[in-house]
């Protein structure tokens, strides 16, 4: 009985040691993978190597800053809301460049220049942790620069982007009182179904369809 107990105990110790060893091996393997994943993310947006490739692929002379960024284009008169483009924002001395990283290359999507920006709405101001809208003669741009490794606003890049887009002295509204959505004059029927005791209540209302417009005439 003692012999059987001893064998069982040694087997248990061996299996425990084996599990610990395998766990250590997995951790050792996981660390380089994590570093590689993070490095790949940073490479696409902020590293010297990435910016060198941006210059080559996009024909840029100077890069002030770059960041992962989401953006949307809202033509005036269109309904609010959009599915954002997800790519890279690049601030240069003469443009905000929006690009995608496709098959190992940077591909140009849009360019926004300071001379085309009439005003902006930036809740909280230049360095606040939030997106902002820049308004041109025909469109509203939603600009949301993000950290390379998480979905939080890249305030460093946002400040530099703000400075460039307002380099001609454009007005920026930072308070909640400025709105860039208004009724379009079109109404649609909205049906609401609500429980009312043992029965169901059906409500039909005509509601305004909203549209995006420029707030730049506000003073």
Query: For the whole prediction, is pTM greater than 0.85?
Result: no
Strand 199-212 and strand 181-196: the pairing is: antiparallel
d(CA 135, CA 110): 15
Q: Which residues does residue 75 pair with via DSSP β-bridges, in sequence order?
A: 139
DSSP state of 79: P
Q: Which tokens is 191 given?
A: 């049906």
Domain boundaries 48-173, corresponding CATH code: 2.30.29.30
Measured CA distances, 158 to 63, 155, 164, 200, 211 (Å): 14, 5, 10, 50, 26
Sequential pLDDT tens for the chain (219 residues): 434 334 444 444 344 444 433 333 333 333 333 323 333 444 457 788 999 999 999 999 999 999 999 999 999 988 888 889 999 999 999 999 999 999 999 999 999 999 999 999 998 889 888 888 999 999 999 999 999 888 899 999 999 999 999 999 999 998 877 788 777 777 777 778 877 777 777 777 766 667 888 999 754
Q: Where are the domains of the chain?
A: 1-45, 48-173, 181-212
| Per-residue burial over 175-191, b = 16 or more CB atoms within 10 Å of its CB, e = otherwise | eeebebeeeeeeeeeee
């Amino acid at each position: 009985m003692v012999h059987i107990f001893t064998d069982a105990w040694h087997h248990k110790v061996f299996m425990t040691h084996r599990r610990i060893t395998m766990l250590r091996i997995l951790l050792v393997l996981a660390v380089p993978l994590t570093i590689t994943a993070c490095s790949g993310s940073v490479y696409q947006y902020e590293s010297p190597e990435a910016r060198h490739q941006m210059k080559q692929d996009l024909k840029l002379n100077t890069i002030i800053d770059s960041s992962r960024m989401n953006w949307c284009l809202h033509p005036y008169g269109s309904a609010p809301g959009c599915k954002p483009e997800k790519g890279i924002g690049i601030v240069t001395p003469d443009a905000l460049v929006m690009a995608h990283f496709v098959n190992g290359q940077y591909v140009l999507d849009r360019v926004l220049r300071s001379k085309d920006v009439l005003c902006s709405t930036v809740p909280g101001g230049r360095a606040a942790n939030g997106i902002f809208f820049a308004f041109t003669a025909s469109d509203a741009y939603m600009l949301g620069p993000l950290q390379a490794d998480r979905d939080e606003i890249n305030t460093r890049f946002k400040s530099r982007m703000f400075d460039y887009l307002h380099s001609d002295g454009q007005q920026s509204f930072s308070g909640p009182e400025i709105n860039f959505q208004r009724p379009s004059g079109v109404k649609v029927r909205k049906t609401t179904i609500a429980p009312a005791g043992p029965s169901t209540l059906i409500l039909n209302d005509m509601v305004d369809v909203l549209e995006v417009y420029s707030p730049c005439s506000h003073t």
